[in-house]
Amino acid sequence: MSGILRPGAAVEMAHGGGGMATTRLIREIFARHFANPILDQGHDAARLNLPHGRIVMSTDAHVISPLEFPGGDIGSLAVHGTINDVAMGGAVPVALSAAFIIEEGLPLETLDHIAASMGAAARKASVPIATGDTKVVERGAADGLFITTTGIGLIPEGIEIAPERIAPGMAILLSGTLGDHGVAILSQRQGLAFGTTIESDSAALHRMVGDMLAAAPSIACLRDPTRGGLSATLNELAEAAGVSMTLKEAAIPVRPEVAGACELLGLDPIHIANEGKLVCICPPEQAEAVLNIMRAHPEGRDAAQIGAVGAHAAPGTPGLLRMETLIGGMRVVDWLAGEQLPRIC
Amino acid sequence: MSGILRPGAAVEMAHGGGGMATTRLIREIFARHFANPILDQGHDAARLNLPHGRIVMSTDAHVISPLEFPGGDIGSLAVHGTINDVAMGGAVPVALSAAFIIEEGLPLETLDHIAASMGAAARKASVPIATGDTKVVERGAADGLFITTTGIGLIPEGIEIAPERIAPGMAILLSGTLGDHGVAILSQRQGLAFGTTIESDSAALHRMVGDMLAAAPSIACLRDPTRGGLSATLNELAEAAGVSMTLKEAAIPVRPEVAGACELLGLDPIHIANEGKLVCICPPEQAEAVLNIMRAHPEGRDAAQIGAVGAHAAPGTPGLLRMETLIGGMRVVDWLAGEQLPRIC
């Protein structure tokens, strides 16, 4: 359809050289799919007007393998992931940047498809990709495509999201099922089939977060349990806040097919990456209202209270995160020391 | 000196897993070298206060090879490059983010050295690295280390930098010698020696730009001639502004050793990447004042007027950029269609 997208055409080193080939790649693929008033100005950097002053800035390098998977691809994942990081700071995302590192030989059709998916995700979320950069490296010097997205957002007046605000007695809420993203990638990568296809939960959560904060501005903390899963997220928060936490295994939503796959593979959903879920810690009297707001959004349909914050504890205390197991015992939930599923995001 | 930096230690896949190993890598290398009040808050995303509303956002993926070179390394280059992109938008840089894609097996000592250089560059420039991300990919899936930096900055009142403001008769100024960065990398890569070591010009230009804009707020356009060199930068601006431009080859500063290396290698300094130079286009009556301000900064010591903007021309007119050559002829300066020096930044 466009000049450079001939059948069989691939990315060449010249596409990263900064000359005419780079300009054509940007015009015919990225500018076409990402079109928005800020990007269309065509400056090297984006210009935007912000109405006032408290902002959040977050960045993520995406190295997921494979590039396309059930429920998404590296492009939509990068958009959702960075929007979510900004939203977890209590902010309304206003713009994204996207930097591409492309391996020579990547089919232009693949790049075009991923850019289209990225543009669609950004439009659906109403967050423009305002600026970008493209580099090409030789065959073997990267693995297809890496995308680094950075997002900025505005924190509304009166919102103060911080782990330090987590206090004893608060409720720990989870917006939905655990493990979908990690198990989807793993199945795809290893060619495993579990009856039904397990899809990634990759989704932008900023609209749900906006509604939650409007209804319950005293929410203490929001976090998306990505790499390292729920266990890393809650251990980090417990340590930052200097509190213990107790989870109820029976209350944690997990899809049956994900639970089955985990059992087969010897994985625990609590350690697995999610890309469309959040943890919310709020005063107990607001838990029900927040859960109802989450459940009103498709991304929060399966929201549940999964535990509560316990007593204060000195920093460095071991075993801050514990879980009441299905059979009624109590176990410490540690961080994983190593890598369970590499290149999951 | 710190726990993970044992002799011979290398980056492992677990360092990218999001668990304890990732946390230790971030604490013991990145947080140590980048220490600043925003990053030290330890949130997933940075929080900052901006006094008012017009901001610039810019991103750059850095894939330079080799990682260390005369005059800098990928870390300082990433900091300088993104600060310069923000400054070329007329803005005062306020924060950077940094995302690392690391190949398994990279010596931790190399990573530590580069992070230290990056932290030093950010401190020297007084622009904090406010947030970051770290991913690790398997051996062979990247080439050592890629760093993507994103910067945001504030545009002062009354400043309006845009190619559309370039008008016939304006002066074209260059802040110093051409080709130093590209030739330094090429010499290093190919083990060439040219008598003296040629060093990269990698430097942050925001302070010089601040002084230039304070003295001459009607500067129309600023741009750093990086990938594609001066020829790509000016062709792009001429096309965006719909004007012709004429350069005087004799006025373009080039170090003798760089000129010699270019002759030997069959390269033209006008196409070679720079990392510490800028082009400034301003009303002719302000040229002398702006040149004097540039020359008062070490980065602008060799600043010169290298040409002038000619008549308006219809978009798409070929040959918008011309140069009066040393022997008195006139030639068209084209963009390079392909890639002259891959992985130069």
A287-324 pLDDT per residue, tens? 999 999 999 999 999 999 999 999 999 877 889 999 99
**Which of A116, A133, A154 delimits the end of a domain?**
A154
Asked, for residue B187, whether it belongs to a domain, the answer is: yes
Q: Are residue B121 and residue B187 in the same domain, yes or no?
A: no
**Last residue in a domain, options A154, A183, A213:** A154
Residue B1's pLDDT is 43
pLDDT the model gives residue A59: 95
pLDDT (average), residues A77-83: 98
Q: Are residues B112 and B183 in the same domain?
A: no
Q: What residue numbers bound the domain in which B130 lies? A: 13-154
> What are the pLDDT digits (tens) for A182-196?
999 988 887 777 667
The pLDDT, as a whole number, for residue B194 is 67
- Whether B148 and A60 lie within 8 Å, measured CB to CB: no
- Range A186-207 average pLDDT: 87
pLDDT > 90 fraction of chain A, expressed in percent and rounded:
72
- Domain match, A139 and A66 both: yes
Which amino acid, one-letter code, is at B95? A
Q: Is residue A71 part of a domain?
A: yes
Instruction: Please report whether residue B283 resides in a domain.
Output: yes
Is A338 part of a structural domain of the chain?
A: no
Nearest to A68 by CA among A80, A79, A77: A77
Same structural domain, A102 and A217? no
Interval A280-285 mean pLDDT: 98
> A339 in a domain, yes or no?
no
Give yes or no: residues B167 and B148 share one domain.
no
Task: Please report the pLDDT score of residue B169 as a whole number.
Answer: 98
A243 versus B54: the higher-pLDDT residue is: A243
Q: Let me know whether B240 and B136 are in one domain.
A: no
- Comparison of pLDDT for B276 and A339, the residue scoring more: B276
Q: How confident is the model at residue A229 (pLDDT cuts 50, 70, 90)?
A: very high
pLDDT, mean of residues A62-78: 97
Residue A265 has pLDDT above 90, yes or no: no
CB contact under 8 A, B57 and A45: yes
Q: Tell me the Cα Rg of chain A.
A: 21
Cβ contact, residue pair B47, A63, below 8 Å:
no
Q: What is the pLDDT of residue A36?
A: 85
Residues A301, A328 within the same domain = yes
Read off the pLDDT of residues A115-141 as tens digits, 9 standing for 90 and up. Answer: 999 999 999 999 999 999 999 999 999
Cβ contacts of B81 on chain A, cutoff 8 Å: none
Q: Which of A154, A182, A211 is the last residue of a domain?
A: A154
In one-letter notation, the amino acid at residue A321 is L
H/E run at residue B263? helix B256-265
Say whether both B97 and B35 belong to one domain. Answer: yes
Whether residue B156 is preceded by a cis peptide bond, meaning omega within 30 degrees of 0, is: no
CB atoms A18 and B226 under 8 Å = yes
Mutate to test the interface with A, among B58, B102, B345 (most CBs of A within 10 A): B58
Q: Are residues B260 and B279 in the same domain?
A: yes
Do A319 and A278 share a domain, yes or no? yes
Q: Residue A24 is encoded by which pair of tokens?
A: 């054509």
d(CA A19, CA B155): 28
8 Å CB contact of A61 and B133: yes
Residues from chain B that touch A143, judged by Cβ atoms under 8 A, are 137, 141-142
- Once rounded to an integer, what is the mean pLDDT over residues A68-76? 96
Distances (CA, A) of A48 to A58, A153, A164, B13, B242: 17, 12, 32, 38, 24
- Number of domain units in chain A: 2
Residues A143 and A32 in one domain: yes
Residue A117 lies in a domain: yes
Name the nearest CA neighbour of A60 among A84, A39, A44, A37. A84
Q: How close A314 comes to chain B (CA, Å)?
A: 18
Q: Cβ–Cβ of A17/B138 closer than 8 Å?
A: no
Worst-scoring range by mean pLDDT, A29-33, A220-224, A230-234, A240-244? A29-33
Partner-chain contact B223 A43, CB within 8 Å: no
Low-confidence ranges of chain B (pLDDT < 70): 1-2, 51-52, 194-195, 337-340
- Closest partner residue to A19 (CB to CB) among B14, B138, B232 is B232
Q: Which of A18, A51, A293, A3 is nearest to B182 (CA)?
A: A18
Residue A7 lies in a domain: no
| Residues A175, A320 within the same domain | yes
Buried b (16+ CB within 10 A) or exposed e, A265-278: eebbbbbbbbbbbb
Report the CATH number that the domain containing residue B45 is assigned in CATH: 3.30.1330.10
B324 to chain A nearest CA, in Å? 22
B-chain residue closest to A344, CA distance: B17
**What residues contact residue B49 under an 8 Å CB cut-off, 6+ apart?**
A53, A54, A55
B197 in any annotated domain: yes
The pLDDT assigned to A1 comes to 43
In this structure, the strands spanning A243-248 and A129-137 are: unpaired
B336 and A20 within 8 Å at the Cβ level: the answer is: yes
- CA dist A79 and A116 (Å) reads 12
What is the domain-level CATH number for residue B299? 3.90.650.10
The span from the CA of B129 to the CA of B151, in Å, is 9
